[in-house]
């Protein structure tokens, strides 16, 4: 596993601060609901950062669902664990990774990947990992404001692993094929 060479702890803390401001104007639960996540689902939040979407999803899928918060940065996972403990959420597990999640094949109901893929050098490998862990006909919910709509659709569908199911505002739900 590679160590995060791109983002220092100071940068991560600053980003987390900015996300708190963002979350006031754009509540994470809105994106979670657009991803069609439901009670009892097993969800992968890839590139979870400080856990805004992880915590919102954990509330939506409880009591029987589980969310796997995956990030390369150890401070991200520590932050998510603290938030989960503070809110007494027992349905959050953290995974430190730069690609391979270690999750079982076809075990996940939904992957959420919000505003992270543009940072990553191994995008194609990550898409293959999403495809591997998702159950048949499951959802990859994607949003990345650093990418244009055409880029997003072309990238996610180009390998024949996913097809666009719906667009909700600037959030795209793809189906595993």
pTM: 0.89
What's the CATH code of the domain at 129?
3.40.50.150
Residue 6 binned pLDDT confidence (cut-offs 50, 70, 90): low
Q: Which of 30, 21, 71 is nearest to 53 (CA)?
A: 30
Number of residues written out for the chain? 177
Give the list of residues 6+ apart from residue 113 with CB closer than 8 angstroms, or none.
Answer: 46, 47, 130, 140, 141, 142, 143, 144
Task: Flag whether pLDDT at 10 surpasses 90.
Answer: no
User: 108 in a domain, yes or no?
Assistant: yes
User: Domain total for the chain?
Assistant: 1
Please write the tens of the pLDDT for every residue from 144-160: 988 999 999 999 999 99
**Core vs surface per residue 34-66: b (16+ CB within 10 A) or e:** bbbbeeebbbbbbbbbbbbbbbbbbbbbbeebb
**Residue 148 domain flag:** yes
Look-up: residue for tokens 């109901």? 109
Identify whether 1 is part of a domain: no
Beta carbons within 8 Å of 172's beta carbon, 6+ residues apart: 141, 142, 143, 152, 153, 156, 164, 166
**Is 3 a domain residue?**
no
CA contacts within 13 A on the Cβ side of 6: 11
CA distance 141 to 108: 13
**Do the domain assignments include residue 40?**
yes
Residue pLDDT, tens place only, 108-119: 999 999 989 887
Assess if residue 4 is contained within a domain: no
Determine, yes or no, domain membership for 147.
yes
Burial 135-151 (b: 16+ CB within 10 A, else e): eeebbbbbbbeebeeee
pLDDT in tens, 54-105: 999 999 999 999 999 999 999 999 999 999 999 999 999 999 998 999 999 9
Residue 126 inside a domain? The answer is: yes
Find the domain containing 97 and state its range: 9-176
Average pLDDT, the chain: 91
pLDDT over threshold 60, residue 34: yes
């Amino acid at each position: 596993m590679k160590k995060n060479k791109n983002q220092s702890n100071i940068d991560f803390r600053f980003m987390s601060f900015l996300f708190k401001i963002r979350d006031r104007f754009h509540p994470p639960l809105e994106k979670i609901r657009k991803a069609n996540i439901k009670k009892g689902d097993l969800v992968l939040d890839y590139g979870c950062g400080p856990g805004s979407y992880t915590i919102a999803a954990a509330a939506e899928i409880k009591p029987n669902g589980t969310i796997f918060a995956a990030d390369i940065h150890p401070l991200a996972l520590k932050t998510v664990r603290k938030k989960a403990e503070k809110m007494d959420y027992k349905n959050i597990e953290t995974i430190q990774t730069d690609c391979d999640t270690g999750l079982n094949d076809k075990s996940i109901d939904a992957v959420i990947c919000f505003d992270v893929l543009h940072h990553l050098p191994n995008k194609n490998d990550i898409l293959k990992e999403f495809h591997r862990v998702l159950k048949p006909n499951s959802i990859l919910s994607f949003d990345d404001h650093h990418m244009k709509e055409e880029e997003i659709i072309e990238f996610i569908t180009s390998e024949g692993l996913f097809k666009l199911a719906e667009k909700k505002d600037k959030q795209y739900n793809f189906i595993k094929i």
